[in-house]
Every structure is written in C-alpha cells, then in structure tokens.
Amino acid sequence: MDSAGHWTGRRFTVRQENRLKAGRYTVSELMPDGSQGKVLAHAEMKRFSLEERITFRSGVSGSRVLFTIEERGLRNAGDGYDVWDADGSLVGGFEEQAVASLVRSTWVLDQHASPVAVGRERNRFVSVLRRVWDFLPLDLVPFLWPYHFDFETEGKEVLKVDRKWGLRDRYVVDILAPGLDPRLAVAQAVALDTFQDR
C-alpha cells in the first residue's frame, strides 16, 4: 500500500494472533498459487481498552500509518465504525445490523460515492451454532468452525471474507468490485473477527 492507500492485489489474508497484552493483526498478499506473499500491514489492539480504535501501520513492524478503524462514537454520534486514511480523510464505514443479525450476522459496508454493500453470513447453521457457542461456558475453547461472509450490491458480489480452519484466526479477503478500497475491505474483515456480537 502506498501513501494513497492503493494495493495492487485484490486478495489478502488477515491473521489474528492473541498476545498477553494485545491482539495483533497482520495483512499479507495472497498469491495466485494460494501461498502467502509479503506483509503489507500490521496492527495491535490493546486488551481491555475502552476505546475501540485500531491503527494499521506499514509492513511487519513499520511506523508509517496506513489507515485507522475507529468506533463512530469517538468522533460523532452513531453506531458502527469508520475507516480513516493516514491524512484523516474518511475512507468509508460499516455497521452490524442488530435485528437481522439475530438470525444470520449481517453487516452494511459503505464507501463514499459507491452503492452500499450488504454482507451476510453464508451458512445459517454455522451462524446459529456460533450463537449457541457464545452462551456456553467455553471461554477458553475457541470456535474453530470456519465461517464465511458474502457482500453484495444490487445482487452482485463485491467482497468475500472466508475464515479458515485453525487455532489462530485467519481470513481470506477477496475483493470482487474494482472500486472497493482494500483498506475498507480489510477493516471489515477485522471487524468480523473483533467487533462482531458486541
């Protein structure tokens, strides 16, 4: 990603790793053969913080800010989250639809000057299973079953986010609409891991 926020690829992996004091996210290119390419960005989110804000920086350990995910209540009224570029300009935002999510998790993704995209969990059975799991006293046992989200605008797919099998959370992000900003797509994938069901 350069200073303007443009990545050349349209497929990425987002990995989440739990550490003692913070959760770490790493964004990498996904190569055509399915292998992981270079690391494009990383972020750390402090545990037990009241402030919902995640800042992504360049590379594995670079200090250059690329974009920030921020809870809307921090700057203005409203539910959901906004994505800001390094200069403080709004890239777009997203929010979970609480009522629709009772049956199947549903998110609305909004990029400036583009039609709104609605994302739903692909498998209703897995969606219900995740909710049941949340009610069980299994805090130390992670939910390992993969789940998938499809985002559409007027019946056309614009984004897919697929959680893969494994002890660590790993997501494959496929951007299908040429105009969708990769920063917003990656931020939505992070939200599916971090902010869902809050």
In the chain, where the domains are located: 11-194
CATH for the stretch 11-194? 3.20.90
pLDDT of 72: 85
Contact between residue 91 and residue 5 where contact means Cβ atoms under 8 Å apart: yes
Contact between residue 124 and residue 104 where contact means Cβ atoms under 8 Å apart: yes
Reply yes or no on whether the pLDDT at 141 is more than 90: no
Instruction: Give the pLDDT confidence of 85-100 residue by residue, as tens digits.
Output: 999 999 999 999 887 7
**Maximum CA extent, the chain:** 45
Name the band, by pLDDT with cuts 50, 70 and 90, for residue 2.
Answer: very low
Name the band, by pLDDT with cuts 50, 70 and 90, for residue 45.
Answer: confident
